[in-house]
Amino acid sequence: MLDLGLPGVSGLDVIVGLRGWTEVPIIVLSARDDERDKVAALDLGADDYVTKPFGMDELLARLRVALRRGIPAAQSPSIATPDFTVDLAVKRVRRDGEEVRLTPTEWQLVETLARHPGKLVTQRQLLQEVWGPQYGDESNYLRVHMAHIRRKLEPEPSRPRYFITEPGMGYRFELPDSPVSADPDGEPGV
């Protein structure tokens, strides 16, 4: 449970920080009843929003709903590969013991893909999560930024092991023990 009116930090920033590394249910409790506040919290990753004052029975029912959805297994905020480490909690990537400087856009792409290891993340999903809901067809944005990410993190950027392109569909973040997708010619995607 999270109150948006925290001293010294925005509750919305807390939601963003948590969603960077965990899927634990978040129920917002707030005196703010403006629709914009509710939409912002839910769009940033809150699972529910309860306005004060509220009845204890209602709150307990909402907690039961969140628990029925299941609490995910413990998630590590850090993903290690043989070549680099992605720390989702502190929003950093390290390679050979040194921090790799990523632009905010590059970080958002890495974070989104790392949160779904081995799974296809569509171009539309990446565009909307990183650039906003009005984006969906600007695949050239992804090609440019993924090329920069590969130059910074892949051991051989022209033969990616981690950031795999699924042509016409999207991208995957593959961990070393995950099967690597291939294009029709049998080569890893670029």
Flag whether the pTM goes above 0.85: no
Reported CATH class of domain 78-173: mainly alpha
| Count of other CB atoms within 10 angstroms of residue 56 | 7
pLDDT at 183 over 50: no
Nearest CA among 124, 91, 95 for reference residue 110: 91
CATH: 1.10.101.10, 1.20.950.20, 3.40.50.2300, 3.40.50.300. Which one for 2-68?
3.40.50.2300
Tens digits of per-residue pLDDT, 98-115? 999 999 999 999 998 998
Find the mean pLDDT for residues 164-182: 77
- Residue ranges of the chain that CATH labels 1.10.10.10: 78-173
What pLDDT digit, counting tens, does each position of 1-20 carry? 898 888 888 888 888 888 87
Domain limits, CATH 3.40.50.2300, in the chain: 2-68
If you average pLDDT over residues 42-59, what whole number do you get?
89
Answer yes or no: is pLDDT of 190 > 70.
no
Examine residue 184 and say whether the peptide bond preceding it is cis (omega within 30 degrees of 0).
no
